[in-house]
Amino acid sequence: MKIIFASDIHESFINLKKLFRTTQADLYIIAGDLLYSAFPSWELATRYTDQQQRVYSWGLSHGLSGTRFEMARSMLEGPAASPIEQALAREFLRLTDLARASMLKKYSRLAKIFEDSGCPAILTIPGNYDMDLDNTALSPWNLHLKTRTINGIIFAGYGGSPVFTPGIPDNLCLTYNERFENGRLLSEPYDFFSAARPDVLLLHQPPYGYLDTIATYGSIGSIGIRDFVDQSDVRLVLSGHMHGDWGAVFRGGKTFLNPSNFGRIVEIHRIKRGGYFAEFTLENRQFSGGMLRQIDGGSIHDVEQCVRHGDKFRLLVMDLRRYRYLSNIKKRQKHIRAIRLFNTLRSFFQQHETEATRTRIAALEDFCREMEAEGHEIAFHLLGSLNFGMATDTSDLDTVLYFRDPGLTVPDDVSYPVPGYVLSRLKELKERGIELSICDCLNLARIEEAVLTDDVHNMLLQRFIFYYGTCRCVNAQLIKEVENLLMNKQPLRFLIEGELAEVFRMMISSFRHTYSFKKYQMRLQEKGITVPPYIEERIWEYLEYHDEKQKKQSGGDVQ
């Protein structure tokens, strides 16, 4: 059963439409915070937030408890408030009614998106920005305090969060019924889930201790839900709310998932982009692996993959740049200057990728899937015009082939023989119009050994790092397993890159390499695209490349 799971939509309705249109799944699940504002404008939201604080301060000063709505009613109806305070209460209550109407209108818009999606099944719950969805147009999809059985799997949901959300009328927000009373925990979610006995929990507020931490505060999750999780055989726990504590956790046969925010959010130091969602499968009611993805500008990008190895799971970073952004990691991955220049140029040309490039890459992806279906793991790094996105119908298809065979070893300075199961299929690939040229063949099992033993002089590892730093890959998962090992050994990788400077000098000095850039420029000109001056300068800088070691030896100036 394939499931797509998103949380904290924050009114990103356009992106949600794109998600429904560009993906396919048996079930779509959304874990709350469907709205981000109760008002049709941020000006009204800001004014209302200020009034919330003023009403609350008045209520505390007069010994009142309850919601701000109840305090405002007391201001208006009781003798203690001055005329100015009563005017504040009237305006506050008027805006509260306006908020209700605005929220209901937004839910109706979202219900129309659900209806038009064509998705086989959608489940959702409210978050701390939301009303009880049973009182809205989203009632047919609401799983709060309900169960739903799909493909024999019991899903149960509990929405909301025990927090005050500025700008949202607290009399409209869903009440989170969990509190301590006389030293005893009274938990509606615990009682509900204990009676429902679900296979999958859908939550906005996570259970205590699982994907629930805030910096400086620590864990803030639900104690009652944690008690239920510990005592039950629930298989999968889906939650949101905590935009920073995202990811996958595996404990005692249970899987906990939080895909971070789907909608954009405002943080202290930045406005954080959204579009994140999880795509995963359930087999025999068990989580069997999946991918954290991001929809960005209409395209979907893989960020991190969860794969099963025996009875354990491994998390593989698929897109380091997006992973670092989501994790708010400021430190960038360093490369030697030659690789930085090379990738700047490659990135520019890839923006104008040809149809022939896309067709050939799609054919190679199909080829890898066919091999995998037959029990063979292979992957490719792409070289030449295919790497730059500038391939034509007559271009050479230069590749590096990867396979995994722990029992096969050849000297590190030679290419491995192409496996027979690949050779036997190359003719079939040629009949499809894809004539591969395998320029190098590497055994990933041997490369992993070299990484783990810090074998800086291993030429197999050196070649891999050269390709890894400069090439695009097909069937990334296989290659990413080695890349993720290198992520934890950045000094080793950077040291080996420094040793590759001579390789770059030799490559750059070749006529064929120099001519390639002229060829790519001409192909763009034929399409009416002018190469901007700053790219021409980078091409010249790259072709005149001298490494840092040369600069030091020549006193800093290279003629």
Dist. CA 128–CA 228, nearest whole Å: 22
29 pairs with which residues across the strands? 5, 123
Q: What is the pLDDT of residue 243?
A: 86
Which residues of the chain carry a pLDDT beneath 50? 547-559
Dist. CA 542–CA 502, nearest whole Å: 14
Q: What is the pLDDT of residue 268?
A: 64
Identity at 303, one-letter amino acid code:
V
46 vs 8, 42, 53, 84, 169, CA distance in Å? 21, 6, 11, 20, 13
Q: Is 408 within 8 Å of 419 (Cβ atoms)?
A: no
Cβ neighbours of residue 65 closer than 8 Å, sequence gap 6 or more: 59
Dist. CA 494–CA 122, nearest whole Å: 47
Structure tokens given for 364: 């190679």
Q: Is 20 within 8 Å of 28 (Cβ atoms)?
A: yes
Q: With the CA atoms of 10, 13, 14 and 15 taken in that order, what torsion angle do they form, in degrees rounded to the nearest 10?
A: 60
Residue recorded with tokens 């300075």 = 413
Q: Is 451 within 8 Å of 461 (Cβ atoms)?
A: yes
> Taking CA 481 as the corner, what is the angle to CA 479 and CA 487, rounded to the nearest 5 degrees?
105
Q: What is the pLDDT of residue 335?
A: 77
Q: What is the pLDDT of residue 549?
A: 46
> Taking CA 534 as the corner, what is the angle to CA 533 and CA 540, rounded to the nearest 5 degrees?
90
Structure tokens given for 541: 């800088």
Q: Is 278 within 8 Å of 290 (Cβ atoms)?
A: yes
The residues spanned by each domain of the chain are 2-32+121-326, 337-553
Q: Is 462 within 8 Å of 500 (Cβ atoms)?
A: yes
% of the chain residues with pLDDT over 90 = 52
Q: Is 69 within 8 Å of 93 (Cβ atoms)?
A: yes
290 pairs with which residues across the strands? 280, 306
Q: What is the pLDDT of residue 271?
A: 80
Q: Is 145 within 8 Å of 195 (Cβ atoms)?
A: no
Q: What is the pLDDT of residue 327?
A: 84
Coil, strand or helix at 197: coil
> Taking CA 258 as the corner, what is the angle to CA 256 and CA 263, rounded to the nearest 5 degrees?
165
254 pairs with which residues across the strands? 251
Length of the chain: 559
Residue recorded with tokens 């109806």 = 77
Q: What is the pLDDT of residue 286?
A: 87
Structure tokens given for 232: 């039950």
Residue recorded with tokens 């050196």 = 462
Q: With the CA atoms of 28, 323, 313 and 252 taken in that order, what torsion angle do they form, in degrees rounded to the nearest 10?
A: -70
Residue recorded with tokens 């100036």 = 557
Nearest to 115 by CA among 131, 135, 139, 133: 139
What's domain 2-32+121-326's superfamily in CATH? Metallo-dependent phosphatases (3.60.21.10)
- What region, left, alpha or beta, does residue 399 occupy, with left being phi > 0 and alpha being psi -120 to 50 degrees? beta
Q: Find the radius of gyration of the CA atoms of the chain.
A: 29
Dist. CA 249–CA 507, nearest whole Å: 45
Dist. CA 258–CA 242, nearest whole Å: 8
Cβ neighbours of residue 2 closer than 8 Å, sequence gap 6 or more: 24, 25, 26, 27, 279, 280, 281
Q: Is 307 within 8 Å of 314 (Cβ atoms)?
A: yes
H helix and E strand count, the chain: 19, 23
Q: Is 325 within 8 Å of 334 (Cβ atoms)?
A: no
Structure tokens given for 553: 């030896």
Q: What is the DSSP string of 310-355?
A: TTEEEEEES-HHHHHHHTT--PPPP--HHHHHHHHHHHHHHTT--H
